[in-house]
Amino acid sequence: MITLSDFFQLNREIILFVYGLVFFLLGFAIILQTRQSSRLDLARNLRWLAAFGIAHGFYEWGDLFIPIQGEYLGAATMRMLYFAHLVLLAVSFVCLFEFGAAVHPSSKKARGFHGSSVTLFGLWLALIFLAFPGRLDDLEWRQTANALARYFIGFPGGMLAAYGLRAHTFQRIRPLNVPKIVQMFRVAGVSLGVYAIVGGLIVPPINFFPGNIVNAEAFTELIGVPPLVFRSLVGMVIAFTIIRALEIFSLETDRRIEHLEQQQIINAEQERLARDLHDGAIQKVYTAGLLVESAAHIAEPESELDKRLKRAVAALRDSILDLRRNLSELHSHTQAVREPLPELLQKISENPSYNTMVRISVDVNLPEDKYISDRRAGHLLAILNEAMANAVRHAQAQNVFIETRDRGEFLQIQIKDDGIGLPADAKNGYGLRNMRDRARLLNSKIDFENDKGLVITLEVPWKD
C-alpha cells in the first residue's frame, strides 16, 4: 500500500498541470473581466495580478514540460530553457510585488515600492551569477536560484500584495456597499498572505540557512503532503475569490446605467415642467400684467387706485422675471454646445458610458459652410444621448451606427442599432417623449422605425 506522499509523488505531473492551470485561468479571467473604462483604481491595478497569474502558470507548466524536451533538444538549448524558466519565476513575483504596490493605500509609499521590485530583481540576478556561480544544467544551482527568487521577491511581493489588497478593499471597495464582494476580496487578501508563506519561504533544498532547514522535503516529511499541493489549493482559493470579486465591474456598469436612466427621466421631467411654466404660468401672469396696466391707464393720475395698480404691475413684472429665472434653471441641463457637429458626434462615440457596452460607428458627411446654433446643438446633443442611452439600456444592441447627411434645407441624422427594436408599449415612455419634445423645440421631424433593430431619423432645419 502506497503512502500519501508516494501518491502525490506519483501524481506530481497532474498536480503541476492543475497548479499552472489555476494561475493561468486567474490571469486570463482578470484580462477578460477588467473594464478599461472603469472609474475604480482597482481596474488599472489588476493588470499586475493578471500578469502574475499568467507568468506563474507558464512557470509551473515549465516544470512539467521542460524535462520532456531534454530527449529532443541539445544541451545549449536546454540551458536557455532553464534560464528562461528561472527568469519567468522571478518576473512573476515582480508582477505580484507591483500589484501590491499599486493597490497600496498610501500613494507616497506605493511610489517607493514600485522601484523596489526592479531593484530586487537586479539583486537576484547579481546573487545567482556572482555570489552563487554555477551551471544552468546543474540542478543544485537551479534550486539555489529558485530559492533566492522566492526569498528576495516572492515572499515580500506576496505579503505586500496581501496587505495592499486588504487595505484597498477597506478604503475603496467597502464604501460602495457591496458586502459580498468585500468578503471575496478579504479572503483573496488572506490567501495571498498564505501563498507568500508557502510559496516564498518553503523552497527547494539548499545548503545554507534557512533553506537547509525549512524546505520542500522537510515540509513533506513533516506534513505528509508536498508544498506544491498547498500552493495549488491556495491558488484555487485566490482564483475563485478574485474571479467572484470581479463582479464589481458589472455592478459598476449597472449602477452607471441606472444613474444614466434616472438622469434622463429627471431631464425629461424638467423639460415638461419648463414647457408648462412657459406655456402656462408665464403667459397667464403676463396677461394679468397687461390687464392691470390697462386699468392703470384709465385710473386718475396720482390717485390711490393709480398708485396701487402701478405697484401691482411692478409686482407682476418681478414675478415674470422670477418665473423666467426658474425656467432658465430648469433648462440648465441643456447647455449650449460650442463645438462643430462632427466633433460633437465623435465625443459621443468616445463616451465610455456608451462605447464600453456597444460598438459605435460614426459617418459624417456635412458641408463646412453649414451649421446649427449653439443652443439648438444642445437640444440635438440631448436627443442623441437619449438615443444612445436607449440602445445601451433597453435595446440589447451590439452595434450603433450614426449617419449624418445634408438634405438641402435640413440636416438628417440617423441612429441605427441592431437590437430588439422598439416594443409596442414603449411609445409613451419618458425617453421617447423627451426626444419628441426636443425635436419640436428644434422645429424638427423625428421618426422611429423597427428595421432589424431601431432606426431613429431626425430632420433638423439648418436655419433657426
Identify the three-state secondary structure at position 456: strand
Judge whether 256 lies within some domain.
no
Task: Give every CB contact of residue 363 below 8 A, 6+ residues apart in sequence.
Answer: 401, 402, 403, 404
Same-domain check for residues 394 and 360 = yes
Same-domain check for residues 393 and 281 = no
Domain end, chosen from 311, 330, 349, is at: 330
The pLDDT of residue 265 is 66
Judge whether 104 lies within some domain.
yes
Judge whether 54 lies within some domain.
yes
Domain end, chosen from 330, 355, 379, is at: 330
Give the pLDDT band of residue 308 (cuts 50, 70, 90). Answer: confident
Same-domain check for residues 79 and 158 = yes
Kindly report the number of other CB atoms within 10 A of residue 419's CB atom. Answer: 21
Give the domain range for residue 297. Answer: 267-330
The CATH number given to whatever domain includes residue 426 is 3.30.565.10
Q: Which of 351, 397, 342, 395 has the alpha carbon at shortest distance from 371?
A: 342
Strand segments, DSSP code E, in 298-422 are 359-365, 399-406, 410-417
Domain end, chosen from 212, 245, 278, is at: 245
The β-bridge partners of 417 are 400
Task: Give every CB contact of residue 99 below 8 A, 6+ residues apart in sequence.
Answer: 45, 46, 48, 49, 52, 161, 164, 165
Judge whether 297 lies within some domain.
yes
Same-domain check for residues 182 and 217 = yes
The answer to whether the CB of 384 falls within 8 A of the CB of 439 is: no
Judge whether 24 lies within some domain.
yes
Give the pLDDT band of residue 415 (cuts 50, 70, 90). Answer: very high
Give the pLDDT band of residue 4 (cuts 50, 70, 90). Answer: confident
Task: Give every CB contact of residue 301 below 8 A, 6+ residues apart in sequence.
Answer: none
Same-domain check for residues 109 and 196 = yes
Judge whether 257 lies within some domain.
no
Give the pLDDT band of residue 106 (cuts 50, 70, 90). Answer: confident
Over residues 184-242, the pLDDT tens digits come to 999 999 999 999 999 999 999 999 899 999 999 999 888 888 899 999 999 999 999 99
CA geometry: angle 19, 20, 24, nearest 5 deg: 120
Give the chain's mean pLDDT.
Answer: 83
Same-domain check for residues 157 and 133 = yes
Number of domains in the chain: 3
Same-domain check for residues 293 and 196 = no
The CATH number given to whatever domain includes residue 238 is 1.20.1070
The pLDDT of residue 403 is 92
Same-domain check for residues 417 and 284 = no
Same-domain check for residues 319 and 346 = no
Stated length of the chain: 464
Same-domain check for residues 170 and 31 = yes
The pLDDT of residue 257 is 62
Same-domain check for residues 93 and 192 = yes
Over residues 314-338, the pLDDT tens digits come to 777 777 777 777 766 665 555 555 5
Q: At what angle do helices 139-149 and 107-126 cross, to 10 degrees?
A: 170
Judge whether 258 lies within some domain.
no
Distance CA 321, CA 312 (A): 14
Judge whether 406 lies within some domain.
yes
| Strand duo 399-406 + 410-417: pairing | antiparallel
Please state whether the predicted TM-score (pTM) of the whole model is above 0.75.
Answer: no
pLDDT at 126 over 80: yes
Same-domain check for residues 193 and 281 = no
